[in-house]
Amino acid sequence: MTPSDVIKFAEKHGAKFVDLKFIDLPGIWQHTTVTIQQLKEDSFEDGFGLDGSSIRGWQPINASDMLLVPDPTTARMDPFTQYPTISLICNVYDPITKEPYSRDPRNIIRKAEKYLKSTGLADVCYFGPEAEFFVFDDIRYDAQPNQSFYYIDSSEGRWNSGREEFPNLGYKPNYKGGYFPVAPTDSLGNLRAEMVTTMQELGIYVETLHHEVATGGQCEIDMRFLPMLEMADTLMWFKYIVKNVARRNGKTATFMPKPLYGDNGSGMHCHQSLWKGEKPLFPGDGYAGLSEMALYYIGGIIKHAKSICAFTNPSTNSYRRLTPGFEAPVNLAYSSRNRSASIRIPMFSSSPKAKRIEFRTPDPSCNPYLGFAAMMLAGLDGIEKRIHPGEPLDKDIYAMSPEELKEVPSVPASLDEALKALRADHEFLLKGDVFTPDVIDTWVEFKTNHEVDPVRLRPVPLEFALYYDC
């Protein structure tokens, strides 16, 4: 849409308000709303004022004025507002220099797409993330100097198989037993269908929807791949829709990677491919039907995986999921069909257009603008430096002995380790000025000060069971 088209679109739908959405550095959508009378064609150049000092990871209070400039191509009617509201995703600009703000994640991914084209290697990088999530019936948590706790409940939770429910009808998925059972064991089919219907009304192309492995309401809805920036925007709509549909049905949805102990966590497997014009660049006559370029792309991701985990697995909770010997792929190897490797080459289709690689380590706490950009830049570095990923690992990695695994690199064991890796290995992210040293420093400092240290310094309830009588 052009600015003029957006004005007509708003009039057609009787919009009374304009919701201006943007993303903070950690990856949560923020918004402010103006009346429809404030939206003019020149609004798409002049923007709207914002206090940047109140946004996480952004400006100091002495330089707080920022501009939100709507992207007219992102216009959609918000499906959850009581009064008709047109939603626009915004880019952030410095009001003095009129330059895009370097810490705006959407600006970073726009620069990544521009850099890709400047290399001449490809025109577009497609992403297809599979963002898993949980749907719970109740969640309570608190953290005080003298107490901390969390309590999760779900009518599907196996832990409720013996609860008096007047009557308890059973049909609760077993631990690790939630993959593909029909109703009534899968009780969330209608809820997922409502989520997908809402997505489709907004033009989001959904391919599949199903219950996932864990008990207690784990789900997956898969979207068709899109160019990197467009998919990052779409993933934010995806999360917004999932959470709001759950809420209006009296439930709560979370993309937290590991909310339940002893069962599967939520990953975000990221399918990726490069194209030039109408030509896919990853099919070839190499291993699993891959081109040399695709193998080098894999080599780049494996080489830089420890540092890109600071963006693709950016929470302390991410590393409760990334634990050796459990379900998440932590070993930095590649293989066809093998889901125990961190990079899989899907073999469902023989079509060259379907040839892609799937990085299985990321999780949905990821800021997609930063995570997608970091993965692509790592892959491009592999292509530019001809980094071969070595031999594929077609064995079941979970069944391999420690002796066999000692030569296979693995992802970081904690967010702190990932941030240290990012400090040591980020030159590839600076190409094309996509990430800047300031963004890297700000990310590391924010995550350390606001997440790593607060979690590291607090006792957890299990420690009392283990150590109170020491």
User: Which listed residue (78, 104, 130, 381) is catalytic?
Assistant: 130
User: Which listed residue (106, 192, 321, 360) is catalytic?
Assistant: 360
Is residue 77 within 8 A of residue 84, CB to CB? The reply is: yes
212 is an active site residue = yes
User: Which listed residue (132, 186, 263, 451) is catalytic?
Assistant: 132
What is residue 96's three-state secondary structure?
coil
User: Which listed residue (76, 110, 158, 269) is catalytic?
Assistant: 269
Please state, as a whole number, how many other Cβ atoms lie within 10 Å of the Cβ of residue 444: 18
445 is an active site residue = no
> What phi and psi, each to the nearest 5 degrees, are found at residue 359?
-90, 115
Tokens of 50: 């914002």
User: Which listed residue (19, 186, 358, 381) is catalytic?
Assistant: 358
Q: Which of 370, 427, 437, 379 is nearest to 108 (CA)?
A: 370
6-36: b (≥16 Cβ within 10 Å) or e: bbebbeeeebebbbbbbbbbbbeeeeeeeeb
Interhelix angle 437-447/292-312, rounded to 10 degrees, is 50
Residue 422: alpha-carbon gap to chain centroid? 18
51 is an active site residue = yes
User: Which listed residue (212, 233, 263, 363) is catalytic?
Assistant: 212
DSSP string across 131-199: EEEEEESEEEEEEETTEEEEEEE-TT-GGGTTS--SS-----PPTT--SSPPTTTS--HHHHHHHHHHH
Q: At a CB cut-off of 8 Å and minimum separation 6, what does 379 contact?
A: 272, 274, 296, 297, 298, 300, 301
156 is an active site residue = no
User: Which listed residue (220, 233, 381, 416) is catalytic?
Assistant: 220
d(CA 465, CA 470): 10
**Which residues on adjacent β-strands are paired with residue 188?**
none
d(CA 341, CA 330): 8
327 is an active site residue = no
The H or E element that residue 343 is part of is strand 343-345
Residue where the block lists tokens 């109140």: 54
> What phi and psi, each to the nearest 5 degrees, are found at residue 201?
-65, -25
269 is an active site residue = yes
d(CA 368, CA 350): 29
**Which residues on adjacent β-strands are paired with residue 140?**
151
User: Which listed residue (41, 45, 46, 51) is catalytic?
Assistant: 51
- Active site members: 51, 130, 132, 212, 220, 269, 339, 358, 360
